[in-house]
Structure 1
Amino acid sequence: MSLKAVPALLLLVVNQFAHAELAQNLSVDIRSLSLGNAVTADPPGISAIHFNPAGLSHIQGLQTDVQGLMLNLDIKREFSAPPGFNVFGYSDDPVVCDVPKTQVNSNGLCPNFKTSSSKVNGVSLYVPILDKFVNWPAGLPVTIPFAAIAYRAPGSKITYADAFYAPLAVGFNQKDGDPGNFMGQQVALERITYLSPSASYQISDNLSVGASVGFNYAAVALKTDLRFPNELFGVLRLVDENICAPFKQNGSIVTDLLLFGLCNAKDTLGPFKKVATMEVAMQQTLSPSYNLGLLWEPSNDFAFGMVYQSGATEKLKGHYKVTIDPGAPELIAALNSSVTGQVLSALLGFPGAIPTTSEGIASMTQEYPAHFQAGIKYKVFPDLQVNFDIGWTDYAAWQGLPIVFDRPLAVLQFAKLLAPGVTADSLTVPLNYQSPWNYGIGIEYSMTDRLKLRAGYEPRTSAIPDNQRSTLVPVNGAQLFGLGLGYRFDKDTDIDLTAAFIRSRDSIPANTSNLSNSTAIDNLILNPYAGLDVKTNTKIAILGIAYRTRW
């Protein structure tokens, strides 16, 4: 495995955590979305398995829930060059340079800049059985079904339940040539609860407790282009275009010895050149977790609930494939064509050759964060109910993440001399996330005995420090707005309809994020937009329907 595969795996990790935060509780229950997920004291049917399993005590007899959710992603990014933009003196970055390469000055300076836009083309899913991406038809929202069943025997204090749902399911794809492809052309992240045996116990008329165990499938998959706009790659371009130019056709043993054979390269690397394309997918078929809940309802007008959703240790394993552009193989071949170049390669731990394609196995262990939430419901008037929740998610568990490879890597043998947390066959990605508190508020108005109207709002504080922000998905704060209605057809049948909208905007000025646009010489791995100003705008629209019936 080459240097080019390492940043793609790091990108995969950063992408998973960014999406996990933004997409939390978006594909679990329709009614909850319409109330800003403020439902700990007002659990929604059998979906109480997730939000507060103590709420299963509200169920009598046999009940089934079937829900469907349609989700549409609108992710946009803008890249622009600030005054004085350059990487090692070069500014002809095709992402922002507004002239053809043939019109760029001979010294690599761009005479005119543009603001470049990137846009998601459609939704992508990773299908484990097929072991590949499936791109949803462009412009068509992805449909996610989930179902649940619960039973409480007459006269019993115990309710049993099970549900299939998706705590996290999101993915997207972009067209070839999109400037955003250096931070993911195809992305899919999934955590699917396929079994969740649960039970609640009604201790008294107004107090219940409950628990559920989740059997989860987890997967992350990514296809991305790679480039490294860094000072070190600027040096390589300078050597090729300025120092080696006189010797390209007139080389000799002397020049080979003095210049380490670099001038023999037919192609080389540069700060703005695409270096490789990387595909990687990792999964775990069983990742267990559990939920514990309590519900206290002293009157019809007031209730208090709380839930603890455990963390989970995810041990993901999968495969990678990297297709390398000519620059890197040519450069290594040129080094090895000279005696001094071979000595330099040995000292730096460079491989003897770089194949145009390589494949292997990678694994990583991560902590899916624990979550605590508590809330109340209160009937201000007989027909108007207000829900309010506060919640905390342990994103601080993501201080760093170790990735292990199936063989020692030459690049890591070199990197371990410079970077802490690196060995010959592993490295640790520094994240330094924080654990924020958030709140949600929901309002439900009973217009008639059959019809209820709902509205909700949930602002989401980002767990990502400013210097770790990524262009992949803007997560430096988000807002969820929900609207919905519930209609009771008869005493045994309810329909819920919901429309929800999430927006998240971010601005990442040049050289402020170590995972997007830093120009520091030691930030080589994950800064494909080094020196550029980045703006991001994400919108997620959700429509859903739930059918609940008792038998």
Structure 2
Amino acid sequence: MYKIRLRPLVSAIVLTGCSSAAFAQLGTNLSVDLRSLSMGNAVTADPPGVNAVHFNPAGLTKIEGLQTEQQIIVANFDIQREFSVPPGYNVFGYSDDPMVCNDGPEVASDICTDFKDKVHGDVEYPSLYIPILKKMVDLGEGMPLVAPTMGIAYNPPGSKATYATAVYAPLVAGFGAENGNAGNYMGQQVALERITYLSPSMGYQVNDQLSIGGGIGMSYQAMGLKTDLRFPNELIGMLRMIDEVVCTPFKENSDIITDILLLGMCNAEEGMNPFGKFGQMQLAVEQSLSPSFNLGVLWEPTDDFSFGMVYQSAAKMRLKGKYHIDNAKAPQELINGLMSSPTGQILAAILGFPNYIPSSESGLVSMDFEYPAHFQAGIKYKVMPDLQVNFDVGWTDYSAWDKFTFEFDRQISALKVAKLLSENVSDSSLSLPLGFTSPWNFGIGVEYSATDRLKLRAGYEPRSSAIPDGKRNTMIPINNAQLFGMGVGYRFDADTDLDLSIGFLRSKDNIPANTSSLANQTGVNNLLLNPYAGLNVKTNTKITILGLNYRTRW
């Protein structure tokens, strides 16, 4: 029973932490610079104008005089989620899950006689977290996410130093669905964003071949979540069996003897059901100032070849915010039943159970979060005077997400009980082992100068997943992914350039039943989050990005 109390809070926290991890990987470098996007982000040796402050600040030395950039990026998230029933599906002998079963109330059976072929819980609209309002806002079905950015750089006449700053979004992602969507048990609304609002940087030309650079990024980080909760595991199935089988003869005929022998559990007005909704959780955490730094080197021994490296530091944060839980009637009634019996009260006191579960709970939560460090190196080579090829390799330290620890502003009775079962729990804190890895990735880009004014670009970047197979879920709608980019650059005159780019990222994932402890694992010990326990899960993610960049020199 203590698990019932613990689960809503734990589940929401798992979702929030994992969604951050997921989208950080999914969204890396998708919304920073359009030329880079069209080149598969293989631009370390060929940094893109003012946005070199992010990709390689040493490339700022390529700028002369005063230069400004404005760009608008539009992104559409198409995330499909599918659930299906494998042979032998059941939870403690029950399979009448209304999410996947067509049987109506006229079928008096705990075993489903007519399973649905496939159930879809697709994302329906994008969402954003608004800092001033401190809430998530739906943008409407079919509406894209829009991210305007800008930057400015200045190279004083005769100086070897170039100074710059830019406003850009290393990560903006969010989605939502209407009530009743099958995917809502792992996030009805999710929003994650990291916005760099000030990035003072400098590039310095050491000599004709070598440049170095560095910069400081000042960013805003936020996460928001709203999710329905359910827990189809063996423990809840056993409680349903007790309510429907053991307690049935005593529902209307209980007395002090039965209350003592059955711990008062039969006095609950509503019994537990592994397929029932246990409540809803809303949570948001943020940090207004999250500093980091970038260091870069650019070596250009000839006009046809260059080599670049960049290190983007980790950003360690203390995210703070609030949570709110609406509890369903069934878990409240279970505790009320225990409290109605002398033996139930004794058991609750021994195990440290709460005396009651309120209809709603709220409080403060904080977590230490690290935006991971990133290293990238690459080359630029002109195979022909009009044809340039870029190739980069990169590494991101997602192993920093081995464990997330959440701290609460008060002692939680459920945690007092749970700490007896896990070394990752204390009276007022909870640590979640994630075990992420740090993969290497590569990107390749091609630029063809069709004329002195017109350039055509194409890029490809396969992205290896940092998420272990045993932790995949629908909140993280990505495993391995592929990013394709195309673009056109046009020079109107010596001081004005326009870039039009399109990017397309796709990822398909298949999570067979009972293979992920954050999605569909069965058994009594799935204490944290498995809302689709015993079901096959598939995701299909498509992200389309379209943008326009306007660059002017003064």
Which category describes the TM-score, using the shorter chain as reference length? over 0.9
Q: How many residues align?
A: 550
2:51 to 47, 52, 58: 47
Query: How far off its partner does 1:103 sit?
Result: 3.7
The answer on whether the counterparts of 1:75 and 1:473 sit within 8 Å (CA) in structure 2 is no
1:313 to 288, 313, 316: 316
For structure 1, the 5+ residue unaligned runs are none
The answer on whether the counterparts of 2:95 and 2:110 sit within 8 Å (CA) in structure 1 is no
Q: Which amino acid aligns with 2:381?
A: Y
Determine the C-alpha separation between the residues in 2 that align with 1:516 and 1:334. Answer: 31
1:4 to 8, 12, 18: 8
- Normalising by structure 1, what TM-score? 0.99
Deviation digits for residues 389-414 of structure 1 (CA, Å, limit 9, x no counterpart): 00000011111011001111111111
The answer on whether the counterparts of 2:18 and 2:476 sit within 8 Å (CA) in structure 1 is no
1:59 to 44, 63, 71: 63
Deviation digits for residues 300-343 of structure 1 (CA, Å, limit 9, x no counterpart): 10000000000011110000111111111111111100011111
What does residue 230 of structure 1 align with?
233
What does residue 421 of structure 2 align with?
418
Determine the C-alpha separation between the residues in 2 that align with 1:381 and 1:326. Answer: 71
1:37 to 24, 33, 41: 41
Is 1:152 matched up with 2:155? yes
The answer on whether the counterparts of 2:7 and 2:527 sit within 8 Å (CA) in structure 1 is no
Deviation digits for residues 181-203 of structure 1 (CA, Å, limit 9, x no counterpart): 00000000011101000001000
What does residue 291 of structure 1 align with?
294
Determine the C-alpha separation between the residues in 2 that align with 1:136 and 1:29. Answer: 23
Determine the C-alpha separation between the residues in 2 that align with 1:406 and 1:67. Answer: 42
1:70 to 74, 80, 87: 74
Q: Which amino acid aligns with 1:35?
A: M
Determine the C-alpha separation between the residues in 1 that align with 2:198 and 2:337. Answer: 56
Deviation digits for residues 416-469 of structure 1 (CA, Å, limit 9, x no counterpart): 111121101001110101110000000000000000000000000000110011
2:146 to 119, 129, 143: 143
The answer on whether the counterparts of 1:3 and 1:411 sit within 8 Å (CA) in structure 2 is no
What does residue 96 of structure 1 align with?
100
- Normalising by structure 2, what TM-score? 0.98
Range with bigger deviation, 500-509 or 129-138: 129-138
Q: Could you say what secondary structure the match of 2:43 adopts?
A: coil
After superposition, where does 1:158-169 map in structure 2 within 5 Å?
158-169=161-172
What does residue 280 of structure 2 align with?
277
The answer on whether the counterparts of 1:104 and 1:111 sit within 8 Å (CA) in structure 2 is no
Determine the C-alpha separation between the residues in 2 that align with 1:205 and 1:60. Answer: 15
The answer on whether the counterparts of 2:389 and 2:447 sit within 8 Å (CA) in structure 1 is yes
Determine the C-alpha separation between the residues in 2 that align with 1:104 and 1:304. Answer: 70
The answer on whether the counterparts of 1:79 and 1:95 sit within 8 Å (CA) in structure 2 is no
The answer on whether the counterparts of 1:90 and 1:234 sit within 8 Å (CA) in structure 2 is yes
After superposition, where does 1:159-198 map in structure 2 within 5 Å?
159-198=162-201
Determine the C-alpha separation between the residues in 2 that align with 1:127 and 1:375. Answer: 37
What does residue 429 of structure 1 align with?
432
Is 1:26 matched up with 2:21? no
Deviation digits for residues 145-174 of structure 1 (CA, Å, limit 9, x no counterpart): 000000000100000000000101100111
Determine the C-alpha separation between the residues in 2 that align with 1:478 and 1:3. Answer: 32
Is 1:361 matched up with 2:348? no
Q: Which amino acid aligns with 2:91?
A: V
Q: Could you say what secondary structure the match of 1:16 adopts?
A: helix
Q: Could you say what secondary structure the match of 2:283 adopts?
A: strand
Deviation digits for residues 82-128 of structure 1 (CA, Å, limit 9, x no counterpart): 0000010001112211222x144433444433310011111100001
- Compared CA separation, residues 153 and 221, structure 1 to 2 (3 A): same
Q: Could you say what secondary structure the match of 1:270 adopts?
A: coil
Query: How far off its partner does 1:503 sit?
Result: 0.3
The answer on whether the counterparts of 1:506 and 1:535 sit within 8 Å (CA) in structure 2 is yes
1:480 to 483, 504, 507: 483
2:512 to 486, 500, 509: 509
Q: Could you say what secondary structure the match of 2:206 adopts?
A: strand
Q: Which amino acid aligns with 2:536?
A: D
What does residue 394 of structure 2 align with?
391
Determine the C-alpha separation between the residues in 2 that align with 1:367 and 1:95. Answer: 37
What does residue 130 of structure 2 align with?
127
Q: Which amino acid aligns with 1:525?
A: L
Deviation digits for residues 466-500 of structure 1 (CA, Å, limit 9, x no counterpart): 00111113221000000001000000000000011
The answer on whether the counterparts of 2:101 and 2:112 sit within 8 Å (CA) in structure 1 is no
Deviation digits for residues 32-59 of structure 1 (CA, Å, limit 9, x no counterpart): 0000000000000000000000000001
> What CA RMSD, in Å, does the superposition of the two structures yield over aligned residues?
1.0
Determine the C-alpha separation between the residues in 2 that align with 1:99 and 1:483. Answer: 49
Q: Which amino acid aligns with 2:65?
A: G
Q: Could you say what secondary structure the match of 2:356 adopts?
A: coil
The answer on whether the counterparts of 2:45 and 2:378 sit within 8 Å (CA) in structure 1 is yes
What does residue 376 of structure 1 align with?
379
What does residue 114 of structure 1 align with?
117
- Compared CA separation, residues 104 and 38, structure 1 to 2 (3 A): farther
Q: Could you say what secondary structure the match of 2:121 adopts?
A: strand
Query: How far off its partner does 1:268 sit?
Result: 2.4
Q: Which amino acid aligns with 1:406?
A: D
Deviation digits for residues 484-540 of structure 1 (CA, Å, limit 9, x no counterpart): 010000000000000110001000000000100000311122100000000100000
What does residue 490 of structure 1 align with?
493
Determine the C-alpha separation between the residues in 2 that align with 1:235 and 1:501. Answer: 47
What does residue 522 of structure 1 align with?
525
What does residue 87 of structure 1 align with?
91
Determine the C-alpha separation between the residues in 1 that align with 2:108 and 2:317. Answer: 51
Determine the C-alpha separation between the residues in 1 that align with 2:508 and 2:7. Answer: 32
Determine the C-alpha separation between the residues in 2 that align with 1:387 and 1:505. Answer: 27
For structure 2, the 5+ residue unaligned runs are none
What does residue 406 of structure 2 align with?
403
% identical aligned pairs = 59
Query: How far off its partner does 1:2 sit?
Result: 5.4
After superposition, where does 1:318-329 map in structure 2 within 5 Å?
318-329=321-332
Query: How far off its partner does 1:547 sit?
Result: 0.3
Q: Which amino acid aligns with 2:335?
A: I
- Compared CA separation, residues 2 and 522, structure 1 to 2 (3 A): closer
Q: Which amino acid aligns with 1:414?
A: V
Is 1:468 matched up with 2:471? yes
Q: Which amino acid aligns with 1:187?
A: V
Q: Which amino acid aligns with 2:27?
A: A
After superposition, where does 1:207-226 map in structure 2 within 5 Å?
207-226=210-229
Query: How far off its partner does 1:206 sit?
Result: 1.2
Is 1:267 matched up with 2:270? yes
The answer on whether the counterparts of 1:36 and 1:456 sit within 8 Å (CA) in structure 2 is yes
Q: Which amino acid aligns with 1:401?
A: F
After superposition, where does 1:529-540 map in structure 2 within 5 Å?
529-540=532-543
The answer on whether the counterparts of 1:2 and 1:354 sit within 8 Å (CA) in structure 2 is no
Q: Could you say what secondary structure the match of 2:196 adopts?
A: strand
Is 1:243 matched up with 2:253? no
Determine the C-alpha separation between the residues in 2 that align with 1:452 and 1:198. Answer: 28
Is 1:302 matched up with 2:305? yes
Determine the C-alpha separation between the residues in 2 that align with 1:103 and 1:300. Answer: 78
Q: Could you say what secondary structure the match of 1:119 adopts?
A: coil
Deviation digits for residues 248-290 of structure 1 (CA, Å, limit 9, x no counterpart): 1111111111111011101122111000100000000111000
